[in-house]
Structure 1
Amino acid sequence: MTESQSISTAVVPSLHVIPREAHNISRKQMSQGTLRVLYCLREAGFAAYLVGGAVRDLLVGGEPKDFDVATDATPEQVKALFRNCRLIGRRFRLAHVVYGREIIEVATFRANGGDDEGDRLTDDGGRLLRDNVYGSIEHDAVRRDFTANALYYAIEDFSVRDYVGGFADVQARVLRLIGEPEARYREDPVRMLRAARLAAKLGFTIAPATAEPIARLAPLLADASPARLFEETLKMFLSGHAVASFELLEAHGLLPVLLPETAQALQSNKSGALRRMLVQGLRNTDARVHADQAVSPAFLYAVLLWPAYCRALALLQAQGVHAAEAQRRAADRVTLHQVARIALPRRFSQPMQEIWLLQPRFTLRLRKRVFRLLSHPRFRAAFDFLELRLAASDSHADDVAFWREAQLHPSDATADSAQDRLTPDEIGNDAIAEAGDAPRKRRRRRRRPTDTRPAAE
């Protein structure tokens, strides 16, 4: 029996219709594009339902960012109905209907059983590689991951259709997997991260049976696509619930697999300073998201991997590596090790490293250095990071005060005396305090050779 068959035998769908007067969902909360897709499919004779996260979020009073539609029409039939439609995906064949900047994702009901035939494929470990075997709405409900995501809003009578107890779980604020948890996690290990992310986002409790296998099966994430893990971490940490997500990753043993060197550094940092700073950084990120301000993946990962960088830097300095060289090597080492797990693009990893490597320069207050740092394109992000480091140690308070003044009154701040600056060796080997800039050898200017030829007559 395959893992897909075990799901089928473990869960028997049973329809529960929640009428309009028993729920709070209104068509006014849906986008015009979503309503056009739903009505067009219905008028063409197909079943069409708003499904998944949008229904769940509307039930708990949230505002969905995306609206997904489920139908018995095949992707090709959907494409024939909408000129503004494109088909995507191999693992899951989907139709995207585009209205301006809005994309309505339309998925065909998927079957919940069968062997690895047709267009379904699983590997030896039960991980689902491709699933394009179509079925009924009952089959589709059982195939979904969590009961809260298996709710269908019917446009014809404005009811909510529930086949697996999802409505009661949403009311009770419980996140529960459909089917046998271990089999579902093996089918797609990223579901463990989704459990933590959704519980953090919704304020739900993860059901005990759903939570129990996570720590034991967490190593399966090492086989997940690094690119997919990157996308999942962005959803987790840049959606306004970063602190809660991080705490759930810790609680369920997922952090050592997702951010192994950070987890190791946090465990060895007995004072808790590195964790305080990391959590404060995530708290600041949440505040920016809720204030509708821009958030940068580069800054996020500078925060998440800072403990790992500090630990690597301390180890290199303990080996006698010169300060500036230790900084560069530590930054490269941490980045290289992490991208093997999470595919952090270079457009984010390079600014992340620059934020780290600029930190020691805040202790150097020579006039030329001050102006040079103020004009650096990464100055603002690096200074914000310096301010964040106050959560770990107040030893940076003087530097923060100086550079705040330097931004307001550059001429006054750069009049600082030479005795206030530190040399690289004086800064010490502490990984959190960092080391200063490496002394640079002054280049000897090459003089042009004197022309000793006689002048032309």
Structure 2
Amino acid sequence: MIDSQSPDLPFSPPSTPGLPVRVIPREDHGVSRKQISPNALRVLYRLREAGFGAYLVGGAVRDLLIGLQPKDFDVATDATPEEIKQLFRNCRLIGRRFRLAHVVFGREIIEVATFRANSDDGSGDRAMEGERLVRDNVYGSIEDDALRRDFTANALYYAIEDFSVRDYVGGFEDVENRVMKLIGDPETRYREDPVRMLRAVRLAAKLDFGIDPSAAEPMPALAPLLAQAPPARLFDETLKLFLAGHARASFVGLERHGLLGALFPETARALAASRGGGLRALVLEALASTDRRVAEGLSVTPAFLFAALLWPAFCREAALLQKSGLDALAAQQRAADRVTLHQAQRIALPRRFSIPMQEIWLMQPRLAMRQRKRVHRLLSHPRFRAAFDFLEMRVVAAPELAEDVRFWREVQGETGIEPGPDVDGDALELGVDELPPPRRRRRRRAPRGEARRGE
């Protein structure tokens, strides 16, 4: 969906008198109608037939130019949201701050946005609360709209009337050169919306682009501004960074541009203090595993992701607490609580993910206890599979754990019982062929003198 404009503050565009347009004809670019969603084409053609300008815009054009298949197709037009709704019975208007039209085709939603302008001549709908922009529905021209976007690669427009690509800010050349470049002064744009720094890293990782030096240079100094972003928004951005199939590249990008400490302060400190790079290797292996699962169409839980990203912080905190005199188990439990609490102040981590994350951590020392009498309790734990997968990845940082991994693999094979909450505990001590007979419950005899039922 369209997310390339700042949701928080108005953009002060560069002073460009008479913004020129570069028109790339169909024969000079690789965008084909065959690659565009038929529903998006329906929207484009209907708007055009009604006399409005209509363009495929943003990430869809960028992705098609480099040979990727977009997941979403967004449309920009000079029709107002109310005019769009009159054209499409399957349309609903959403948003207060940014009024948008959603044209619904079953499970697919084509998002249609009206060209927006930066300056308000009084005819638009713009409202401020202090320094915060609460409504920004000031409409303008396609040139205005292009300047309001964040990156040049996202400011390309595919015109349905002649199948050309329109470029107002040099984005076509930047896509060809595979570089993310900001529109306007980078420091100004980051101060308007610090989350743009995360978007730059995420898109560069996704597209295998570089970040232009002018866009990369201010990031380390401005990284602390991310603390001003709402924790709930940072949670959403984190999921986009790490659950879209390019988690490892995103992590490396955050490190390279000085942003890791802004999202995961305690993890960054723990990695800086660790020796040998084992903890970092574990995190990278976990993220690479996440990327493989996404590529294979398998599910990925944020609980496991955050367990990996915050494991270095958990290990460091537990070690410090043990040095202060706490026993190992108490130190681990307190470390889990502290790391979770501190991280939630930066990224809003819902309990449905933080609790399983902690269980994965706290099961790790229990997996080192290989007494048979305790095995059934662990195998029956609902988080056993995630904890065991985590143990397997820990071997990257601690090769001595390979014996524990081998043991648990053998145990699962020997029992023939699927790990889960319904495992019979006796099956693991006696073997599956030596299950004890079911215990018969004695019937309670009625006291003398008490009449039997039915008598």
- TM-score bin, normalised by smaller chain: 0.7 to 0.9
CA separation of 1:124 and 1:253: change in aligned 2, threshold 3 A: farther
1:58 aligned residue = 64
Asked whether 1:254 is paired with 2:259, we answer: yes
Asked whether 1:85 is paired with 2:77, we answer: no
2:295 aligned residue = 290
Does the CA-based 8 Å contact 1:355-1:381 persist in structure 2? Answer: yes
1:240 aligned residue = 245
Does the CA-based 8 Å contact 2:92-2:102 persist in structure 1? Answer: yes
User: Equivalent pairs: percent with the same residue?
Assistant: 68
2:74 aligned residue = 68
Asked whether 1:119 is paired with 2:125, we answer: yes
Distance 1:259 1:117 in 2: 44
1:183 aligned residue = 188
1:360 aligned residue = 365
Deviation at 1:166, TM superposition (A): 0.4
Does the CA-based 8 Å contact 1:189-1:224 persist in structure 2? Answer: yes
Which residue identity lines up with residue 34 of structure 2 in the other structure? K
Asked whether 1:97 is paired with 2:103, we answer: yes
CA separation of 1:9 and 1:139: change in aligned 2, threshold 3 A: same
Which residue identity lines up with residue 61 of structure 1 in the other structure? G
CA separation of 1:78 and 1:242: change in aligned 2, threshold 3 A: same
CA separation of 1:11 and 1:220: change in aligned 2, threshold 3 A: farther
Asked whether 1:342 is paired with 2:347, we answer: yes
1:378 aligned residue = 383
Asked whether 1:312 is paired with 2:324, we answer: no
1:426 aligned residue = none
CA separation of 1:276 and 1:51: change in aligned 2, threshold 3 A: same
Q: Secondary structure, in 3 states, of the residue corresponding to 2:104?
A: strand
Does the CA-based 8 Å contact 2:124-2:139 persist in structure 1? Answer: no
1:17 aligned residue = 23
2:326 aligned residue = 321
Which residue identity lines up with residue 51 of structure 1 in the other structure? V
Does the CA-based 8 Å contact 2:364-2:387 persist in structure 1? Answer: yes
Which residue identity lines up with residue 165 of structure 1 in the other structure? G
Provide Cα deviations, 1:327-368, integer angstroms capped at 9, x if missing partner: 221111111111111111111111111111111111122333
Does the CA-based 8 Å contact 2:12-2:118 persist in structure 1? Answer: no
1:390 to 388, 395, 405: 395
Distance 2:326 2:121 in 1: 58
Distance 2:156 2:246 in 1: 23
Deviation at 1:163, TM superposition (A): 0.6
| Equivalent residues, number | 415
Which residue identity lines up with residue 399 of structure 1 in the other structure? D
Q: Secondary structure, in 3 states, of the residue corresponding to 2:194?
A: coil
CA separation of 1:11 and 1:288: change in aligned 2, threshold 3 A: farther
Distance 2:375 2:11 in 1: 66
2:374 to 369, 377, 384: 369
Deviation at 1:10, TM superposition (A): 5.6
Deviation at 1:47, TM superposition (A): 1.1
1:441 aligned residue = none
CA separation of 1:11 and 1:378: change in aligned 2, threshold 3 A: farther
Deviation at 1:124, TM superposition (A): 7.4
Provide Cα deviations, 1:285-337, integer angstroms capped at 9, x if missing partner: 11111122211111111111111111111111111212222222111111111
Provide Cα deviations, 1:222-241, integer angstroms capped at 9, x if missing partner: 01111111111111111111
Question: 5+ unaligned residues in a row in structure 2: which ranges?
Answer: 1-8, 418-426, 431-448, 451-455
Distance 1:135 1:411 in 2: 67
Distance 2:199 2:27 in 1: 31
Q: Secondary structure, in 3 states, of the residue corresponding to 1:186?
A: helix
Does the CA-based 8 Å contact 1:116-1:122 persist in structure 2? Answer: no
Distance 2:62 2:163 in 1: 15
Does the CA-based 8 Å contact 1:69-1:106 persist in structure 2? Answer: yes
Q: Secondary structure, in 3 states, of the residue corresponding to 1:364?
A: coil
CA separation of 1:353 and 1:211: change in aligned 2, threshold 3 A: same
1:163 to 168, 172, 184: 168
Deviation at 1:8, TM superposition (A): 4.1
TM-score (norm 1): 0.86
Question: 5+ unaligned residues in a row in structure 1: which ranges?
Answer: 417-454
Deviation at 1:27, TM superposition (A): 0.9
Distance 1:148 1:209 in 2: 15
Does the CA-based 8 Å contact 1:128-1:188 persist in structure 2? Answer: no
Deviation at 1:61, TM superposition (A): 0.5
Deviation at 1:212, TM superposition (A): 1.1
